[in-house]
Amino acid sequence: MANYTFDEIHQQPAMWRKEYAALLGAKAEVSAFMHKYLTPDTDVVLTGAGTSAFIGDALLPVMRGMWRNVRSVPTTDLITHSEYLLDKERPLLMISFARSGNSPESVGAVNLANKLCKNVAHVYITCNKNGKLAMQAGPTPTLPRREGERPENILLLLLPEETDDKSLAMTSSFSTMLLTCLMLGHIDTLEQDADEIEKTAKNAEAVINEYEEKLKGIGERPFERGVFLGSGALKGIAEECHLKLQELTDGAVVCKFDSFLGFRHGPKAVVNDKSLVVYLMTDKEDVQRYERDLVKQVDANNNPVAQVIVIAGKEPELPGVKADLVVKMPFGPKENDFYGIVPYVLVGQLLGFYASKAHGLNPDAPSVSGNIHRVVEGVTIYE
């Protein structure tokens, strides 16, 4: 019981190292593709559904420093409002994130872009070699390519087979797809990032080795609400964490995410004595000062919060604030809002896993009612 979810959470550092080696080996072809289809005028759309869409939300604040015209747009929005979200006249590079590559919206969004846009290229970042997206694209850059096997305007980045998570909740698929796109942004100098990738993997291993038992203890305590807060790219990680805890407990724990500054504007009303609050804090001083203010305000207001977790690259100065756990990333990549954002997600995954078991559920298949499935069901894509 729960063998898949447990293994898929714990395998992530190994998957990141494996994917770095694979992408480095394919650098020449990947770089050539990006230089051909990514120009200053190209509209870059990061897309996916559910957890796969949250990858784009986490990437957007950091990728804008490299790709000028980049947006994060869920496939679930593209399907219904493509006329407002796709510019038919501008070159489009659509980067699709898909664990299975079989969800109706993933395939439908690609077909819509091909139909509506005059000049479109695709990057498929997916975990399933037998999925519809992968089968449509053909061989990966790491395999021998014969003329005509893959359309020239499609780049398929097929992740390690183990990342095709068998459990309902996406864990290693999310983090490895996220890391892959970050590496794609550095593809021309990727060999220089070996130390940063290794530090990122070691930070994840530190979360597992040093904090898993404490996170297990907190996940097993009774609470009914979960709040995850982050700034910039970490807001996207908070978005993914909130879903992990909510779906792995089959909705028994209702969760919310927000930015630190945004949380004051009404959403703070959810905090009560049955709430777990998780602060994902940056190490950037000019941003963290706002985050510290919010943490201190919540604490000073005598909010009867059930549990408080703080995550940061180094322990923030929060004198007098009562935190049940401070999770530190000891290896500190140069910027924790680039590769360094990725290990933060393990906290949400582990909390979700142990809270799921505490509620008597099987984390591999927590949806007792069958409301949610590994690959979404019941969606019809209309012409």
What pLDDT is recorded for position 143?
45
What sign results for the dihedral spanned by CA atoms 241, 128, 59, 191?
positive
Crossing angle of helices 345-358 and 3-10, in 10° steps, is: 160
Residue identified by tokens 């590994």 is: 374
Residue identified by tokens 């963290």 is: 288
Work out the number of other CB atoms within 10 angstroms of the CB of residue 213: 11
What pLDDT is recorded for position 162?
97
3-class SS at 96? strand
Q: For the whole model, what pTM was predicted?
A: 0.93
Q: How large is the greatest C-alpha to C-alpha distance in the chain, in angstroms? A: 67
Residue limits of CATH 3.40.50.10490 in the chain: 3-185, 195-358
Contact of 321 with 376, CB cutoff 8 Å: no
The Cα–Cα gap between 121 and 152 comes to: 8
Residue identified by tokens 């109706």 is: 104
Show the tokens assigned to 227. Answer: 């709040």
The Cα–Cα gap between 307 and 190 comes to: 40
What tens-digit pLDDT sequence spans the chain (383 residues)?
558 999 999 999 999 999 999 999 999 999 999 999 999 999 999 999 999 999 999 999 999 888 989 999 999 999 999 889 999 999 999 999 999 888 888 888 999 999 999 899 999 999 999 988 888 776 555 444 444 456 789 999 999 999 999 998 999 999 999 999 999 999 999 999 999 999 999 999 999 999 999 999 999 999 999 999 999 999 999 999 999 999 999 999 999 999 999 999 988 889 988 999 999 999 899 999 999 999 988 887 666 788 899 999 888 888 888 899 999 998 877 667 799 999 999 999 999 999 999 999 999 998 787 666 555 555 566 67
According to the CATH classification, is domain 3-185 in 3.60.10.10? no
The Cα–Cα gap between 312 and 341 comes to: 10
Contact of 69 with 42, CB cutoff 8 Å: yes
Contact of 44 with 71, CB cutoff 8 Å: yes
What pLDDT is recorded for position 281?
95
**CA angle 198–129–32, rounded 5-degree value:** 65
Q: What is the CATH number of domain 195-358?
A: 3.40.50.10490
What pLDDT is recorded for position 83?
86
3-class SS at 140? coil
What pLDDT is recorded for position 120?
96
Work out the number of other CB atoms within 10 angstroms of the CB of residue 264: 14
